Structure 1
Amino acid sequence: MQKTLLVLSLLASYGTFAADEVKPLSMDGEFGFISTTGNTETTSFKGKLAAHQELEMWSNDFVVEGLYKKDDVAGESQTTAQKYFMSAQGNYKLENPDHRLFGFASYADDKFSSYDYQATLAVGWQQKLWDDPSSRFSYSIGPGYSFAKTSEGESENGLIVRGALDYQWKVSDNATFKQILSTEVGSNNTKSKSETSLSAKINDSLSLKVSLLMDHNTDVAEGKENLDTQTAVTVVYTFF
């Protein structure tokens, strides 16, 4: 009987978690670094800052991230990856706070891609479909405009439709699964981005995160891949 009660207690606690405290401002810093010497010499760095602001009428998100990698190629140290990305989204809450109007802006610079830079401005509808003790899910969709310059120096600007999904599942009190997906459909190029991650708390301030990031462009230069992937294990520090 005692064993049965113990099993039922474990099942009842799985997949639920205490409600997170709603903070007016929260910020996480993510850091990963690898350096090897000897027969193989490489240096790679991944960093990210993510901030969330929750106000009475606004809910805002800000992201800045970068990736840098240097390898020893034929006895010479060469930069083999250099990416920067930043974005900001403001969500204005309507009478039903789960229904919102959003404004979004982003800028991406990838030295080794088909584009010198890619930037986006978009507005539209954002809605939180649910937010319960175990998971939350929201989406946004709306028109926008993209600005891009190819590695050949050509401008590719035009109207787009941007859609995004944000799903979070609290696996336990200390582990969280996240899936973020966005796509920007335009006449010149369709740009899509996916981030899948699982993070586990070490203590109140530190977490360990495993993530898979995928960037896809339909229009790329000859000899370039449409899909870039990035797998990382990083340490996340919660500032507040």
Structure 2
Amino acid sequence: MIRTLYHADFSPDTDDEIPRFSLDGELGLLINTGNTSAASVKAAINADHETESWSSLYFAELLYKESGTPTTRRDVSAQRFYSSAQFDYKLLTPGRRLFMYGDYEDDQFNGYDHRASLAAGYSQRLWRNEDSEFKYSIGPGFSFIEADEDNTSVVNDGIIVRASAEYRYRWSSGAKLRQFLSTEAGQENTKSRSETSLSANVFGSLAMKLSFTLNHETDTAEDVNPLSTETSVALVYQFF
């Protein structure tokens, strides 16, 4: 049934070009003037490095928003920096790997000063062909969170279980669909993330990307919504 749904031949590790390195940059910009004065910037860098023994992913994202009126000064409403990296060591069995993962987030509006997590475990690429691919990973890890409460630094850390899954599909026209899901489950808090994106080539190495992101946490500060969503349109340029 799954084979029919995704039209996949279930070839787990068909890397035609090894070594391979790809790098693309993403930029979205919005400026409003008139009755409402606002500006927002979203920038990201995504890199993929493939060798005979390793498959590595690097990601960094910056989001900044401010808004106001012509008679008042602008107030910052969003300011976040997020980065992550995952390193998969390829085992002898095609498609099966051991992974190491780490991320860091500094968000001025989520109730924390900063937080980071580390995880390691097992990952597998179930298939990859010219149209689509699907992979997942799961393993234990450690989460570190620092927050200020009543001008006092509070540190929360603990053991987590991290799981992620990613599906990609590419049409013959060059348009791409990506669905990514991840969750970090701990004793006091579970953080989940969903990223859905659709990109289409404009010309050459330039593409237009529409993305929708959801972030959810089970334990947040009283004045912080447990669910946050973000919709963005950006230009993506592939350097390599």
The two structures have a TM-score, normalised by structure 1, of 0.89
- 2:138 paired with 1:141: yes
Among candidates 107, 110, 118, match of residue 107 of structure 2: 110
- Correspondence for 1:239: 239
Written as runs of structure 1 = structure 2, the 5 A alignment for 1:1-240 is 22=17, 24-72=20-68, 75-152=72-149, 153-240=153-240
Distance of 1:171 and 1:144 partners within structure 2: 36
5+ long unaligned stretches in structure 1: 1-14
The amino acid that maps onto 1:33 is L
- Cα displacement (A) at 1:151: 4.1
Output one character per residue of 1:25-58: Cα deviation in whole Å (capped at 9) or x when no partner: 1001000001111211101000000000001100
Per the alignment, in what secondary structure is the counterpart of residue 74 of structure 2? strand
C-alpha displacement at 1:175, in angstroms? 0.7
Conserved? CA contact 1:156–1:188, under 8 Å: no
Match for residue 11 of structure 2? none
- CA drift of 1:174 comes to 1.6
Amino acid across the alignment from 1:102: F
Q: What is the Cα deviation at residue 114 of structure 1?
A: 1.8
Letter in 2 for 1:167: Y
Gaps of at least 5 residues in structure 2 are: 1-6, 9-13
Count of residue correspondences: 224
Q: CA deviation at 1:133?
A: 2.1
Instruction: Please tell me whether the aligned partners of residues 52 and 60 of structure 1 are also in contact (alpha carbons under 8 angstroms).
Output: yes
RMSD of aligned C-alpha atoms? 1.8
Letter in 2 for 1:177: L
Work out the CA distance in 2 between the residues paired with 1:47 and 1:53.
20
CA distance in 2, matches of 1:232, 1:207: 14
SS at match of 1:213: strand
Quote the sequence identity (%): 44
Find the residue that maps to 1:39 and give its secondary structure.
coil
Q: Please say which of residues 201-210 and 20-29 is displaced more in the overlay.
A: 20-29
Deviation at 1:135, TM superposition (A): 1.0
TM-score after normalising by structure 2: 0.89
Give the distance between the partners of 2:133 and 2:228, measured in 1 at CA.
28
Deviating more after overlay: 93-102 vs 151-160: 151-160
CA distance in 1, matches of 2:233, 2:216: 21
